[in-house]
Amino acid sequence: MAREAISDKIIVVGIDGMDPCLTRKYMARGVMPNVEKLMQHGSYREDLVLMGAQPTITPPCWTTLSTGAYPATHGITCFKKQGNDIADLVYGMGSDSCKAEQLWDCFVEAGKKTLVCQWPGASWPPTKDDENLILIDGTQPTFINMLPIIDSEEIILADVKTDEITFKPMAATDGNVPCVVKDLEEVEVGEAFKNGGHLTHTILILNPEDGEHALSAAPYNIAFSPIKDAKGWANAPEDAKEFVALFNYGFIRRTCLILKNEAGVYDHIAIYKNKKAIEPKVLATNFPWPLLMMIGVGVTLGSAVVGEGTGVSEWIGGLLGPALASMGETTFYIILAAAGVILTNLLNNNAMAIMMSSIVASLYLQGVVADPILAILIVIVSTTFGFVTPASSFYGAMIHGNEFVEAKSVYKYGILMAVFSWLLTIVLFIPITKFFF
């Protein structure tokens, strides 16, 4: 059925993982005016909800958007696919794996000049050799005949004591950042290492016992850079400092400036394409240093408390044993729940759960705790209500780091929720658990 086109030009904008509920909420608050303008001049579903496809991950869903076919038809089901051998996984989101016709191919056949920019669903390599098709790869392969390369989380360590810019792949974790050691005696190494080889190649293997705690062992890339006085810039303050951030496994360099605030304190970082650029690509300001300090202190103290070498848990258990021996069972459980809720909002909740479980075990051996299973269950439940301070848990840190929520509101309602959680544990959880166990 033919009809007159509303416009000779169209643009399709896709934002991966854009939640429709949050989008509607933030547009109502007026914090997403540009998205609202696009909707006013374009076409969209009233509630912004799309049917999507299964599985609900990037490659199949974006390919469904560009073909109108479901994954069972177009053949893109994940980032990788099975290779010739049952144990092989190969790149699975290239256009050569797509069995359905792409929307831009239809436009090109109709004589329309078409630009496809960073479409992460079977867009590269180009499926048509036509002057009307311009395809820019982005989250697809970074260049021709290359598997996709994306930057994962990495650590950039800039220091005035660092001598040269260095990139070390998979050399750090979120719990272990390597230091720089100088003035070591040079030794002769084998030819393999002269050519860029590594002494070891570590593969992270998680055991069933590791659980989420093993995530701290996941390897990160780390880039080292010296901090120097800013020189040779087209637009840099006289007192600015400079360093270099390495991306894309060290192949891309971005020059950065460290700038002072109005009080004369260095707390701004501006990332530029190069020193000739007038405006930065990214300007990071207003770092929540108190928030980061609270998280660091809470996690550090929590780690020290549960460390095997400190013996803190056993010492506390031995100290509390005589004091709690004459206490009634119900009173002990009420105090235990209160201690769990309070401590988990001051220090890291995982550390508190481990420490308090060790204390319960020590008290059980002293004959103070009659039912260790119930006591440990109370510890587990009470230490999950950590959201008052940013150090208490990852979601506590997320709440405090949210620009839409004030810290005083978090403390106010967080304390109320902690008290409510404690009462809920006493009134419901303890009686129900005693009934079943």
Q: State the Cα–Cα distance between residues 316 and 305, nearest whole angstrom.
A: 10
Alpha-helical segments (H) within 79-141: 103-109
Average pLDDT over residues 37-59: 80
State pLDDT tens for residues 216-250: 566 778 888 999 999 999 888 888 999 998 887 77
Q: State the Cα–Cα distance between residues 324 and 336, nearest whole angstrom.
A: 11
The answer on pLDDT for 46 being more than 60 is: yes
Of residues 14 and 287, more confidently modeled: 14
Per the structure block, which two tokens stand in for 269?
Answer: 């970082």
Domains and CATH numbers, the chain: 20-136 (3.40.720.10), 154-180+215-284 (no CATH), 290-436 (no CATH)
State pLDDT tens for residues 301-344: 555 555 555 666 666 666 676 767 777 777 878 888 888 888 77
Per-residue model confidence (pLDDT) at position 291: 53
Average pLDDT over residues 79-89: 78
Q: Which residues pair with 8 in a beta bridge?
A: none
Of residues 402 and 71, more confidently modeled: 71
Of residues 3 and 134, more confidently modeled: 134
Of residues 356 and 104, more confidently modeled: 104
- When pLDDT is cut at 50, 70 and 90, the band that residue 138 belongs to is low
| Average pLDDT value over all residues in the chain | 75
Q: State the Cα–Cα distance between residues 304 and 242, nearest whole angstrom.
A: 36
